[in-house]
Structure 1
Amino acid sequence: MNLVSIRIITDDVSKLLEFYEQITKLKGVRYTEDFAELQMANATLAIGSTRTLEFFGGAAIATAAQNRTAIIEFITNDVDQIYREQSEFLASFSVQKPETMPWGNRSLLFRDPDGNLVNFFTPVNTDAIKKFEGKI
């Protein structure tokens, strides 16, 4: 079994898609007004409108912009470089400037326009580098 995607439910697909395109430097694929994806080598970040919830049992199953438990994480070669390049854009979304965590990752933490936590990280110690070998 493999995790292939994470889907964010939002009231504004365009706004979230533009945000994630900016921070990842990837071009998203817009399938419909209500659904888009950013496809990466190992996983996909899907963005679905609240209107798509009707296909899964109705609006009560998920609420846009209410996540307070999950962190969407992206591994990168150089989180400090991304911070230098994106700091102005991310200023109003920032939670934490790049900092080295006790488990060996250097992390940049911010929120997307819906308030979802996003972590860009670079493994920096031997164990973390080994753990994520081949993932970048």
Structure 2
Amino acid sequence: MEARINLITIWTDDVIPMKEFYNKVLGFKIENDLGEYVEFKNEGVRFALCLRKVMYNYSGEYKKLRIGQSFELAFPCKSPEDVDKSYKDIISKGGVPVHEPQNMPWNQRTALFSDPDGNIHEIFSDFK
């Protein structure tokens, strides 16, 4: 095995609102839509959504309810001003606000929002 990530899949119980969010709100173009599995165009690591029940026959672990935040995706912005603009845009299109943009002590401006399943994600930009 190589210590390198090739694919990130978000497991969901409802693909449709998640697909709409990542496509229409965040702007990911759909590369492959099989109904229960949707893969988006993305540079570098492949990115997909999949209905959790697809995996039920492989392992009962997929039937367990998750509790709390399990992961975060972080999306770069062009500038600190772009963080503010992007945050407003994401929220106006249906993203759920979690934390408004703020300057962090590690020289980044960040903001947090969540997708329809409640996964919290970050947008950020470095500043000097």
Q: So what's the TM-score if we normalise by structure 1?
A: 0.76
Q: CA RMSD of the aligned region, Å?
A: 2.2
Q: What code does the residue aligned with 1:4 have?
A: N
Which of 23, 26, 40 is the equivalent residue of 1:24?
A: 26
- 1:55 to 1:38, Cα distance in 2 relative to 1, 3 A: farther
- Contact 1:36–1:46, Cα closer than 8 Å, also in 2: yes
Q: Which residue of 2 aligns with 1:94?
A: 97
Question: Which 5+ residue runs of structure 2 have no aligned equivalent?
Answer: none
TM-score by length of 2: 0.80
Q: Which residue of 1 aligns with 2:127?
A: 124
Q: Deviations over 1:8-64 (max 9, x none)?
A: 111111110110112322222343111012221122321010122135423x33546
Partner of 2:47: 45
Assess, with a 3 A threshold, how the Cα gap between structure 1 residues 86 and 34 changes in structure 2: closer, same or farther: same
How many pairs are equivalent? 123
Could you report, residue by residue, the CA deviation over 1:44-93 in whole angstroms, capped at 9, with x for unpaired residues? Answer: 321010122135423x33546644232121112122221233332246x1
Q: Structure 1 residue 6: deviation in Å?
A: 1.7
1:5, distance to aligned residue in structure 2 (A): 2.4
Identity %: 26
Partner of 1:128: none
Matched residue type, 2:89: E
Task: Give structure 1 regions of 4+ aligned residues with deviation exceeding 6 angstroms.
Answer: none
- Give 1 or 2: higher helix fraction: 1
